Structure 1
Amino acid sequence: MASLRDVQNQIVSIKKTKQITKAMNMVASAKLRGAQGRIERFRPYADKFYEMLGDLAAGADSSVHPLLEVHEEIKTVGIVLTTSDRGLCGSFNANMINKALKLAAEKKAEGKAVKFYCVGKKGRDAVRKSEYEIAESYADEMSSFDFTLASSVGNKIIDAYLAEELDEVYLVFGKFISVGVQQATALPLLPIVSDDAEGEDSGSSAEYIYEPSVEGLLAELLPRFVNVQVYRGLLDTSCSEHAARMSAMDNASRACDDMTETLTLLYNKTRQAAITADLMDIVGGAEALKG
């Protein structure tokens, strides 16, 4: 049986750990409010952009712009993987990585080469241990980023697609649904197609009048559309990361309470056993003196 001092030291250590997890929970909660505000403000713009561009692209021929053209032979697939730079957020990063690696395995089984564009240190480190090539990586960016990061990533994959170094591109990110639910999502980025099944209300009967020509608008809007989708994925991943970390730290704090309660019970039992042993020694000594 452990000594009283050992049990007491464990209780003190666990209480200090709980102070850390509670502090990290509060920090994650504060960051989540800011990240949630950003994604809620940006989603209406991204949704309307998607609806308008889908209507615009539906009336244009795919030969109007290279980003609308489907390559005849799919040889190389690019996967943009967004994760966090730090851990302690439960299974969030593992879910993103597993989703991306599963997609890569499916493409490889079809005889296609796979290249990764990793945003976030955790995803980069995981892909480095795999057999797949990392074309670009962006580490230590997720703690503080803006549209510049999305433009940088988007322009890289657009240039690779136009140079026919990539034939398909997917974006893997953590879609923020609620504080308790973050869904690993693989979104097709290139080629750009009008997809009514994406989850948006594309049945709108609104008609648009475009000026200048549709071709001129597509040349300007299609690259920006890719950057907007990447930025939305980054915002979703950032918000999901903070929500997952807040939940993980809350669970850790509750686990500390349970361990403290268990160790306190053990401490009381150990202390009672020690007192009982001392009393038995006293009584035994007294009886020996009487004899």
Structure 2
Amino acid sequence: MAESINEVKHRIASTKSTHQITTAMQMVSTAKLNRIQKHSVSYEQYVSRVKSVVMHLAQSHLLDNINSSSNADSGKAKKTAYLVITSDRGMVGSYNSNVIREANAFIEKNTPNPDDYMILAVGGNGADFYKNRNVNVAYEYRGVSDIPTFAEVREIVKTANSMYEDGVFDELYVCYTHFINRISSEFRAEKMLPMDSEAMNEGASKDVKTSKISAEYEVEPDKQAVLKSILPQYAQSLVFGAILDAKTSEHSASSSAMQSASDNAEDLISKLELQYNRARQAAITTEITEIVGGQEALKH
């Protein structure tokens, strides 16, 4: 019985230690979530202005027939790339499994032939998942900051655009988890390349509400110069927004997972303490019985 009591006592101490760790990790994740949400506010103002400009240009037909592709070749098979955003670490609940499952479903529906697509992975979990399954991972980026910077996104967008211009793929979709609130999120797959007028107008109008534009614009120095300035910012804003959104969802998932782990640890501690008290009471009762029995034996 003594050995059983010591074992339970050891489990209680171990579980309490785990509880302290998960509680600390929950506090860290919550702090990161609060920071990135504040950071997102200023970014949303910027991206709203960029999308507003893009939608005005699209509705004014300044973006008609634009195509940044230099690899148009009707004689070759179409190749699609999917930029899948996951986390680099674990302990984020079902965050990674959900985005990978939804991305796979979207890929299977949109590009059923494995030879017709490739993966651009942002985050170690996604990169490792596809590599382990022999999927073509053409590019991977690990170590995205807890609060992503625009400089990180420039590198990703520059690489993706170079691959597109070089004919490595013909279109690109960004797959990520959109943060709704601390208990809810949803999967999104948005087309980034090629930048055609219809897709850009549709993408911008998701977040920007304006009246229908019918006026014509005069641009200086010329249309190409304006597009050369605006379109890269639009592409960067899409990817940066997706990564920022995904990171917010990641921190929220991590906070929820650690909260759940802490709650489970508390429940287990309560059960173990009850088990320990019962075992200790049984041991004391046994000792008392043995003492009383010994005394009775001495009387005879």
TM-score by length of 2: 0.87
Aligned partner of 1:123 in structure 2 is 126
- 1:30-49 matched pairs, under 5 angstroms: 30-49=31-50
Distance 1:157 1:258, change over 3 A: same
Distance 1:232 1:83, change over 3 A: same
Q: Quick one: distance in 2 between partners of 1:95 and 1:50? A: 28
Q: Quick one: distance in 2 between partners of 1:119 and 1:20? A: 28
Aligned partner of 2:142 in structure 1 is 139
SS, match of residue 188 in structure 2? strand
Distance 1:144 1:19, change over 3 A: same
- 1:253-268 matched pairs, under 5 angstroms: 253-268=262-277
Structure 2 residue runs of 5 or longer lacking an equivalent are none
SS, match of residue 177 in structure 1? strand
SS, match of residue 182 in structure 2? coil
The RMSD of aligned alpha carbons is: 2.6
TM-score by length of 1: 0.89
CA shift, 1:260, in A, is 0.7
SS, match of residue 181 in structure 2? coil
Structure 1 residue runs of 5 or longer lacking an equivalent are none
- 1:2-151 matched pairs, under 5 angstroms: 3-58=4-59, 59-60=61-62, 62-66=64-68, 75-109=78-112, 113-143=116-146, 145-151=148-154
CA contact (8 A) 2:50 2:233 kept: no
Q: Quick one: distance in 1 between partners of 2:72 and 2:43? A: 29
Percent identity (aligned): 29
Distance 1:238 1:208, change over 3 A: farther
Q: Quick one: distance in 1 between partners of 2:23 and 2:114? A: 48
- 1:187-202 matched pairs, under 5 angstroms: 187-192=190-195, 193-196=199-202, 199-202=206-209
Aligned pair count reads 291
Residue deviations 1:231-265 (CA, integer Å, cap 9, x gap):
11111111111111111111111111101100011
Distance 1:104 1:182, change over 3 A: same
- 1:243-282 matched pairs, under 5 angstroms: 243-282=252-291
CA contact (8 A) 1:71 1:167 kept: no
Residue deviations 1:184-225 (CA, integer Å, cap 9, x gap):
221111122234476334442465745223333123222221
CA contact (8 A) 1:32 1:239 kept: yes
SS, match of residue 44 in structure 1? helix
